[in-house]
């Protein structure tokens, strides 16, 4: 397992991508526009600090270079993108804001040949869901924002193999592929920073130091009826169960879902109950203070992976 730390402390920088930085206004079509700010891109390396001289950190992008892989006859392979990035953990000073293993999802795509490609992932972070950046300008010199990212680069873990004749998955072995490949290259990461306009700085100066965060909580369930009594402010519940047929959900003694078929609750890989009926980037998500509740599953598989989006507040000194 490869572990990389990216600690956000003061550091000199150069823009390695563009001779001139561009002005962007990041907003959804049809939504209220944000004020424009300058966007800077910088490559970061293992244990390298991110520059606190900027006004904000917009996002961290991960570039993963995948080689061409060719199978021998009777076999097909697929990259398991879900296994490449194993975990992301974000800490602000001593507070763990984000700690998640569900980082990136993509369905398996089997083929006799996987062409060389580079996948680009914007790491899911608490500051680029509700907000468009983390306000570095509000931090003191002693504040530290740390990203810990764990990768798995071994082919035996990230390549799934299938025997065509038997129509069954088999464990990866080097004899299955023609190429001489044992692992993939270390991913390249880059930070996207922002410099705010004076108009936007004036707006922030008139606001309080409240910073709303929507972070992910991960839970495990090993029975068909899972207790959700967590006493937290929740905006979304997601669950994954390999053999799921129907789901029922009780929230604070109210039955909000009763035996809904899996195709009615599925969104991408996970099933979902979203308290935020209208997603609007200008507003904080709707939420409920979850004091009691149950998720009941009709399934032959007892192992269930759950996620909840929790709303919390960060206050800057």
Taking alpha carbons only, the member of 234, 247, 256, 238 closest to residue 305 is 238
pLDDT the model gives residue 264: 94
pLDDT at 22: 38
pLDDT at position 208? 61
Note whether 111 and 69 are within 8 A (CB): no
Least confident piece of the model among 55-64, 192-201, 263-272: 192-201
Residue 14 is predicted with a pLDDT of 41
- For CATH 2.70.9.20, the residue range(s) in the chain are 211-315
Q: What's the CATH fold of domain 2-207?
A: Adenovirus Type 2 Hexon; domain 4 (2.70.9)
| pLDDT classification of 36: cutoffs 50, 70, 90 | low
Apex CA 3: angle with CA 141 and CA 241, to 5°?
Answer: 110
Q: Is the pLDDT of residue 58 over 50?
A: yes
Domain 211-315 falls in which CATH fold? Adenovirus Type 2 Hexon; domain 4 (2.70.9)
For residue 27, what pLDDT is reported? 44
Note the pLDDT of residue 88: 92
Q: Which ranges constitute the DSSP H helices of the chain?
A: 81-84, 155-158, 198-205, 262-265
**Averaged pLDDT score across all residues of the chain:** 81
Q: Which two tokens stand for residue 63?
A: 């570039």
Name the nearest CA neighbour of 60 among 98, 106, 93, 115. Answer: 98
pLDDT value of position 224: 94
- So what's the pLDDT on residue 227? 93
pLDDT of residue 247: 96
pLDDT > 90: what percent of the chain? 25
* pLDDT per residue as tens digits for the range 94-145: 888 899 888 887 788 888 888 988 989 999 888 887 788 888 888 887 888 8
């Amino acid at each position: 397992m490869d572990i990389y730390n990216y600690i956000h402390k003061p550091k000199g920088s150069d823009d390695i991508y563009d001779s001139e930085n561009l002005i962007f206004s990041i907003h959804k079509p049809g939504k209220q526009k944000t004020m424009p700010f300058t966007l800077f891109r910088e490559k970061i390396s293992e244990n390298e600090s991110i520059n606190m001289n900027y006004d904000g950190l917009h996002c961290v992008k991960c570039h993963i270079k995948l080689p061409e892989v060719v199978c021998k006859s009777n076999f097909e392979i697929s990259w398991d993108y879900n296994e490449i990035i194993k975990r992301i953990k974000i800490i602000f000073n001593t507070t763990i804001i984000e700690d998640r293993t569900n980082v990136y999802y993509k369905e398996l795509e089997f083929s006799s040949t996987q062409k060389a490609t580079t996948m680009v992932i914007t790491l899911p972070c608490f500051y680029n869901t509700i907000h468009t950046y983390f306000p570095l300008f509000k931090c003191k010199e002693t504040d530290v924002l740390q990203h810990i990212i764990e990768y798995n680069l071994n082919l035996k873990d990230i390549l799934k193999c299938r025997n065509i004749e038997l129509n069954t998955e088999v464990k990866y072995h080097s004899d299955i592929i023609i190429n001489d490949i044992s692992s993939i290259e270390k991913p390249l990461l880059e930070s996207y920073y922002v410099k705010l306009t004076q108009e936007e700085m004036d707006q922030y100066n008139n606001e309080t130091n409240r910073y709303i965060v929507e972070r992910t909580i991960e839970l495990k369930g090993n029975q068909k009826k899972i207790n959700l009594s967590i006493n937290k402010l929740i905006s979304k519940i997601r669950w994954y169960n390999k053999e799921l047929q129907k789901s029922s959900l009780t929230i604070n003694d109210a039955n909000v879902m009763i035996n809904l078929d899996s195709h009615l609750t599925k969104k991408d890989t996970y099933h979902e109950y979203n308290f935020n009926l209208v997603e609007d980037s200008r507003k904080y998500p709707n939420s409920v203070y979850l004091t009691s509740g149950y998720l009941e599953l009709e399934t032959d598989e007892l192992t269930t992976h759950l996620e909840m989006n929790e709303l919390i507040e960060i206050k800057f000194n």
